[in-house]
Amino acid sequence: MLEIKNLHARVAGKEILKGIDLTIQDGEIHAIMGTNGAGKSTLSNVIVGNPVYEVTEGSITFNGQDLLAMKTEERAHAGIFMSFQTPIEIPGVSMTNFMRAAVNARRQAQGKEPLKSTDFLKLMREKRQLVGIDQKLMNRSVNEGFSGGEKKRNEIFQMAMLEPSFCILDETDSGLDVDALRIVAEGFNKLRTAETSAMIITHYQRLLDYIKPHFVHVLIDGKIVKTEGPELAQKIENEGFDWIKAELS
Amino acid sequence: MKAEQQYIELYREAAETITQRSCPVMNAERDAAFGVFQQQGFPTQKVERYKYTDVAAAFAPNYGLSLGQLDIQPSRYIYSFKDSPINLAPYYNKIADGADSITALNTALAHEGLLIYVPRNEHPEAPIQIDNWLRGTAATMMHRRTLILLEEGSEATIVMNDKADHPSPHFLTTQVMEIVCKANVHLDIYEIEETTPLCSRFSNVYIQEGRDSVVKHNVITLQGGLSRNLCDVYLQGENAEVTLGGCAIGSRQQHIDNNTLIQHQVPRCQSNELYKYVLDDQAVGAFAGKILVEKDAQKTTSQETNANLCASSEARMYTQPMLEIYADDVKCNHGSTVGVLDQTALFYMLQRGIPEAEARTLLKNAFMGQVIDQIQYRPLRDRLYVKVEKRFRGEHEKCEDCRLCK
Amino acid sequence: MKKKNKEDEKTPSQQDQNAFVRSVAEKKYEFGFTTDVQTEIIDKGLNEEVIRLISAKKNEPQWLLQFRLEAYRYWLTQTQPSWAHVTLPEIDYQAISYYADPTAKSKGNDKQEIDPELMKTFDKLGIPLEERMALSGMAVDAVMDSVSVKTTFKEKLSEKGIIFCSISEAVQQYPDLVRQYLGSVVPYRDNYFAALNSAVFSDGSFVYIPKNTRCPMELSTYFRINARNTGQFERTLIVCDEGSYVSYLEGCTAPMRDENQLHAAIVEIVVMDNAEVKYSTVQNWYPGDSEGRGGVLNLVTKRGHLRGVNSKLSWTQVETGSAITWKYPSCVLSGDNSQAEFYSVAVTNNHQEADTGTKMIHLGKNTRSTIISKGISAGRSQNSYRGLVRIGKNADGARNYSSCDSLLLGSQCGAHTFPYMDVHNNTATVEHEATTSKINEDQLYYCNQRGISTEEAVGLIVNGYAKDVINKLPMEFAVEAQKLLSVSLEGTVG
């Protein structure tokens, strides 16, 4: 369970989040929608621990642990995974070495032995087939020379490798055509267990057609101003945000 | 002239012995070179090309002069000057810059020379490997002299290793290497330095290239004390191509200074440079690279890159990429960066659960990989990937792959 | 095989280009007239007596005379620097007159009355000194030879507490301010020419912007060398106090003379907390004739000290004139979060030689600097960028970006880049990139295909190339600079 209380955060001295309260139970999927600059990406970056963002007030706990006191990699070991909006290219670091380092660090945190090379490669192969990502990409540097769709699929592949219990999909649908979107969403659904919870940040209904949220929250100017069921997303798709703003004022 | 004085006295005392042990082609240049040294002394930091290294300080300790004999395993391509199959006089000390004080000192004090000679159209099958091993218990200096002559149409791969016993006393090495590549020559040459914090190296390499020749020179500094590598390239035949690469990993008080000059003297030549530094602790790095395009050298293309990472708050980097261009039909680019590891990439790796130290090592390794990738000779490239990674993990003190240890 | 004539091998567009380059080389200097006014010139030569005489003519206080004499004595111990990539001729410092006053005739009468000839001169240069005729929103200090002729809009500015006057006047009226800041950014020991200027400086402008004041108009100084065998040693001092803003412009011309004229100026700028200064120069000193005879030796030390937190300083220069340019407008970024910029276009033609660039010295935390330099070489000229970026030990998070491009027009000229980067802090990011190339044949061809002549196309392309810098100039100056660029490259633009 992820529990956010009265969260305030700023970036480059500017306050972006102005008091967020949000609880996500195991197995729940929450969609966060909102206009550009409302603070959606800030919220996800604060949860995973991007050092660029500064938390000024409030708390985040994850399964009872104080997330804000943990380093980024410790949060990852605890089971938090973010599918990045724009995954960075890391020239010179091969996908294989990168994944090996990540998987073994997680295992070490869990008190397990590092995977033997053959076992690791077997795991890579299994998960690759599961999300349908080309072997060729695995021989390249991390995200280097990947198309937009390949990058997003690579995020889902990494999620498969790391088996997180809480996932953030940060505008995973941006820059994807319909087919790529479906493949990524199906990959996510395949990987999800009954306990996996997720936060899905999106501008559009279409991703939510594939991944059904339990709750839809609307974030405006650093605050959650509306929370309803999945029908809210459809209404926003049709009517935009203006009516919500009108309700507020 | 304090530091110089002991060398002037040394020469006066030892010149006779050196001359006796040496050969006529070297002796012919000796006195004149000493004259240049005596007149100029060590270059001060006001001399533009020595701006970043205090030469006099490096030469100040009292070093014993090594007059040992070269241990050359008989080979078709490697000779001592004394056994040279060709007349060396037209080459020896002709390509080198006689006005450089270090070169002058080396010419005055070197008593033996190593010749690598590849006759016309020959392609040695195996790379030629030269190991320079510093061992002993007293502070010693060596003045190494090498001439590499590749006749028209020949090819060679040369690997030179500078190594030293750990721990070592103070060692000082000067090296002057003259490389003559005739038309249509392909040469790959690698210099790998893995010595100790008490070793100082002053290397001056001069490369002359003829028509259609292709030369790659890489200098890889993994361990050492003071490493000063000067490399001058004269592109004298059309369509000649040169690639200079450098990989410098500095920690503790290491001082690594690479200084290059590429002279485009004729049209249609190409030059590439890529030097990368990763500096930790109190290490100091310096890179100065000048591309000089002479008036008639039209259609020159040149690309120079120097990228550096300072990994600690006390590391320092000086960089100076220069272009001096007197022809108009040219494409010359240079770029230089000093910076920190890509913070976004670091964050991405942390989010995947990779511990920070490991993420940093992976990124440093990737940063250096770009230089190592350029190495043509596969077994060496693979070995260097491993060496570089071990260096970043601090596991480098022993050299497992060396035949001398066994 | 028959050897072809070299000229035959060239494409028509190359021949056009050669014709263009030749025509550039024959270009005349537009501002090369002299003004016939009665000018008081002191005898040639330099010694302590001359310095005392200059100081006395300007009725200076004792401390200033002392400052001059110390600088002079220091200068005597120094030698002319030779590290720049220019061939600076042997300068006979005794063959120059160090003070020339074209306003002397009207002195003693009414100081307000300016010789109509002088007014005409500045009119001809496009710098009207009548306030009613002035360019809107611009106040001008006009300096000819050693003396400020007139400063416009002084009264209007003083309503806001802004001081804008000649430095000679400032010495009389605001001696404390001048004494506090003079030499504080460029000490006389800084370099050979700075020492010389400190000893003999004549006139220049003084600007003081009080706290929390936005200067309502552009301030501008126009320098003109007129008299023969004189040197110009102007001195400008700008102090921008906390939370204030000023934009300052400098322009210069000189008549055509066969001998070299010496110009060794100092500009000092002090920027306090949250203040911002923009300094723009359009330098069009006489460059010498197409044979390389005559022309101004422009040996200038310009430096700004960003003392305050969040302070900003931007240098923009368009350098088209002078036989020799030796000039490095620099910034010392002491205040945390301070920001500095250097934008430069340097055009050299015929036998001109320019060695110009900047120094960015980062001392404060999170300081930022940007360097954009565009060199254009034509004729037989030599054009060098020389720059230093130094990141001090305590400059955490400092950033620099430098981009230095050179464009070569013709095969007889040279373009050189000498950047120095010294980084002493591991949290800093310094990036430098440079390219040197000739004008892009494909672009020329594309223009030709669209019916644009090669000459015109070169003009268009060069202008586009310089655009990043020109755009940084205040509007009135941008137009002027574009015109100058086209004059320097033979009317090919616009």
pLDDT tens track for A180-204: 888 888 889 999 999 999 999 988 8
User: How far apart, in Å, are the Cα atoms of B57 and each of B229, B231, B252, B370, C261?
Assistant: 17, 22, 18, 34, 45
Distance in Å from the first CA to the final CA of chain C: 45
Give the mean model confidence (pLDDT) for residues C475-493.
63
Enumerate residues 372 to 401 of chain C having a beta carbon within 8 A of any beta carbon in chain B: 391
Give residue B220's pLDDT band: very low, low, confident or very high (50, 70, 90).
very high
Average model confidence (pLDDT) across chain A: 91
Give how many domains chain A has, as a whole number.
Answer: 1
**AA letter at C16:** D
DSSP secondary structure code for residue C229 in this structure: T
DSSP secondary structure code for residue B186 in this structure: E
Contact between B351 and A72 using a beta-carbon 8 Å cutoff: yes
Q: Which residue has the higher pLDDT, C155 or A155?
A: A155
Residues comprising chain C, all counted: 494
Indicate contact of A with C: 3+ CB pairs under 8 A: no
Helices then strands, counting H and E runs in chain A, come out as: 10, 12
The rounded percent of chain B whose pLDDT value lies above 90 is: 80
**Nearest Cα residue in chain B from A162:** B352
Of B3, B99, B109, residue with least CA distance to B58: B3
Give the mean model confidence (pLDDT) for residues C61-82.
91
Decide the pairing of beta strands B330-339 and C429-438: antiparallel
**Nearest Cα residue in chain C from B338:** C430
- Domain span at A20: 2-248
pLDDT at B311: 87
Contact between C429 and B329 using a beta-carbon 8 Å cutoff: no
Rounded CA gap, C3 and C1, in Å?
A: 6
pTM: 0.83
Range from A73-82, A165-174, B40-49, B174-183 that averages highest in pLDDT: B174-183
User: Strand locations in C22-179, DSSP E?
Assistant: 40-41, 100-101, 138-144, 147-151, 163-166
pLDDT at B135: 86
Of B160, B202, B144, B205, residue with least CA distance to B180: B205
For helices B101-109 and B2-21, angle between their N-to-C axes, nearest 10 degrees: 40
Q: Which residues pair with C364 in a beta bridge?
A: none
Rounded CA gap, A73 and A79, in Å?
A: 10
Q: Which residues pair with C235 in a beta bridge?
A: C266
Of C303, C294, C292, C301, residue with least CA distance to C348: C292
C-alpha gyration radius of chain B? 21
Of C276, C290, C287, C355, residue with least CA distance to C87: C355
Question: Cβ distance C485 to C321 under 8 Å?
Answer: no
Tell whether the model's pLDDT for residue B281 goes beyond 80: yes
- Domain span at C27: 11-488
Question: Cβ distance C445 to C457 under 8 Å?
Answer: no
B144: which residues sit within 8 A by CB, 6+ positions away? B106, B110, B114, B132, B173, B174, B175, B176, B177
pLDDT at B75: 80
Contact between B356 and A73 using a beta-carbon 8 Å cutoff: yes
Give residue C493's pLDDT band: very low, low, confident or very high (50, 70, 90).
very low
Rounded CA gap, A74 and A68, in Å?
A: 11
Give how many domains chain C has, as a whole number.
Answer: 1
pLDDT at C256: 60
Of B96, B81, B103, residue with least CA distance to B22: B81
Of C451, C178, C406, residue with least CA distance to B326: C406
Tell whether the model's pLDDT for residue C190 goes beyond 70: yes
Q: Which residues pair with B214 in a beta bridge?
A: B186, B241
Q: Phi first, then psi: what are they for B386, rounded to 5°?
A: -65, -45
Rounded CA gap, B247 and C207, in Å?
A: 51
Question: Cβ distance B197 to B225 under 8 Å?
Answer: yes
The rounded percent of chain C whose pLDDT value lies above 90 is: 38
Question: Tokens 């007149």 correspond to what residue?
Answer: B39
Mean pLDDT lowest for which of A108-117, A124-133, B370-379, B397-406?
A: B397-406
Tell whether the model's pLDDT for residue C15 goes beyond 70: no
Give the mean model confidence (pLDDT) for residues B208-218.
97
Decide the pairing of beta strands A53-62 and C218-224: unpaired
pLDDT at C252: 64
Q: Phi first, then psi: what are they for C355, rounded to 5°?
A: -125, 100
Rounded CA gap, C416 and C405, in Å?
A: 10
Residue A153 is encoded by which pair of tokens?
């699929």
Tell whether the model's pLDDT for residue B353 goes beyond 80: yes
**Nearest Cα residue in chain A from B363:** A93
Contact between B324 and C416 using a beta-carbon 8 Å cutoff: yes
Question: Cβ distance C232 to C263 under 8 Å?
Answer: yes
Give residue C412's pLDDT band: very low, low, confident or very high (50, 70, 90).
confident
Give the mean model confidence (pLDDT) for residues A109-120.
91
The CATH number of residue A199's host domain is 3.40.50.300
Cα of C118 vs its chain's centroid, Å: 23
Question: For A183, what's the count of Cα atoms within 13 Å in the CB-facing half-sphere?
Answer: 18
Tell whether the model's pLDDT for residue B99 goes beyond 80: yes
Question: Tokens 């197409």 correspond to what residue?
Answer: C290
Give the mean model confidence (pLDDT) for residues B174-183.
97
Rounded CA gap, A64 and C211, in Å?
A: 54
Give residue B403's pLDDT band: very low, low, confident or very high (50, 70, 90).
very low
- Numbered residues of chain B with Cβ closer than 8 Å to any chain C Cβ: 295, 298, 308, 310-340
Give the mean model confidence (pLDDT) for residues C254-268.
77
Mean pLDDT lowest for which of B79-93, B231-245, C82-96, C446-460?
A: C446-460
Contact between B347 and A72 using a beta-carbon 8 Å cutoff: yes
User: How far apart, in Å, are the Cα atoms of B153 and each of A138, B210, B271?
Assistant: 41, 11, 20
Top residue of B338, B341, B342, B360 to mutate, by most chain C CBs within 10 Å, is B338
Question: Cβ distance C226 to C116 under 8 Å?
Answer: no
pLDDT at B2: 77
pLDDT at B26: 96
Give residue C104's pLDDT band: very low, low, confident or very high (50, 70, 90).
low
Of C143, C53, C151, residue with least CA distance to C97: C53
Residue C301 is encoded by which pair of tokens?
């030390």
Cα of C109 vs its chain's centroid, Å: 34
Average model confidence (pLDDT) across chain B: 92
Query: ipTM, 2 decimals?
Result: 0.84
Of B115, B167, B112, B166, residue with least CA distance to B142: B112
Average model confidence (pLDDT) across chain C: 81
Q: Which chains touch A (3 or more CB pairs under 8 A)?
A: B
Of C462, C399, C460, C394, residue with least CA distance to C429: C399
Give residue C149's pLDDT band: very low, low, confident or very high (50, 70, 90).
low
Using a CB-CB distance cutoff of 8 angstroms, which residues of chain B are in contact with residue C422? 316-318
Contact between B323 and C416 using a beta-carbon 8 Å cutoff: yes
pLDDT tens track for A50-77: 888 999 999 999 999 999 999 888 999 9
Angle formed at CA B55 by CA B33 and CA C428, multiple of 5 degrees = 140
pLDDT at C4: 41
pLDDT at B401: 45
DSSP secondary structure code for residue C426 in this structure: T
Tell whether the model's pLDDT for residue C131 goes beyond 60: no
Using a CB-CB distance cutoff of 8 angstroms, which residues of chain B are in contact with residue A91? 366, 370
Contact between B366 and A162 using a beta-carbon 8 Å cutoff: no
Answer whether C441 touches B (CB < 8 Å): no
Size of interface A-B (CB pairs under 8 A): 76
- Which of C85, C422, C435 is closest, CB to CB, to B318? C422
Dihedral over Cα of B27, B32, B33, B37: its sign: positive
Enumerate residues 330 to 369 of chain B having a beta carbon within 8 A of any beta carbon in chain A: 342-345, 347-356, 358-359, 362-363, 365-367, 369
Question: Cβ distance B182 to B152 under 8 Å?
Answer: yes
pLDDT at C109: 46
Top residue of A41, A90, A166 to mutate, by most chain B CBs within 10 Å, is A90
User: How far apart, in Å, are the Cα atoms of C424 and each of B53, B282, C339, C363?
Assistant: 16, 10, 19, 10
Give the mean model confidence (pLDDT) for residues B378-393.
91
C-beta neighbour count of A28 within 10 angstroms: 17
pLDDT at C295: 83
How is chain B split into domains, by residue range?
A: 2-392
B83: which residues sit within 8 A by CB, 6+ positions away? none
Rounded CA gap, A215 and B404, in Å?
A: 70
Range from C40-54, C286-300, C401-415 that averages highest in pLDDT: C401-415
C-beta neighbour count of B405 within 10 angstroms: 11
Tell whether the model's pLDDT for residue B89 goes beyond 90: yes
Q: Which residue has the higher pLDDT, C8 or B238?
A: B238
Question: Cβ distance C87 to C100 under 8 Å?
Answer: no
Top residue of C82, C348, C432, C458 to mutate, by most chain B CBs within 10 Å, is C432
DSSP secondary structure code for residue B69 in this structure: P
- CB-based burial label for B144 (10 Å; 0-12, 13-18, 19+): buried
Give the mean model confidence (pLDDT) for residues B48-69.
89
How many angstroms separate the CA of residue A49 from the nearest CA in chain B?
A: 8
Question: Cβ distance B257 to B227 under 8 Å?
Answer: yes
Give the mean model confidence (pLDDT) for residues C351-373.
94
pLDDT at B69: 76
Tell whether the model's pLDDT for residue B25 goes beyond 90: yes
For helices C441-449 and C12-25, angle between their N-to-C axes, nearest 10 degrees: 100
User: Strand locations in B1-80, DSSP E?
Assistant: 64-65, 78-80
Secondary structure (3-state) at A130: helix
Rounded CA gap, B119 and C246, in Å?
A: 72
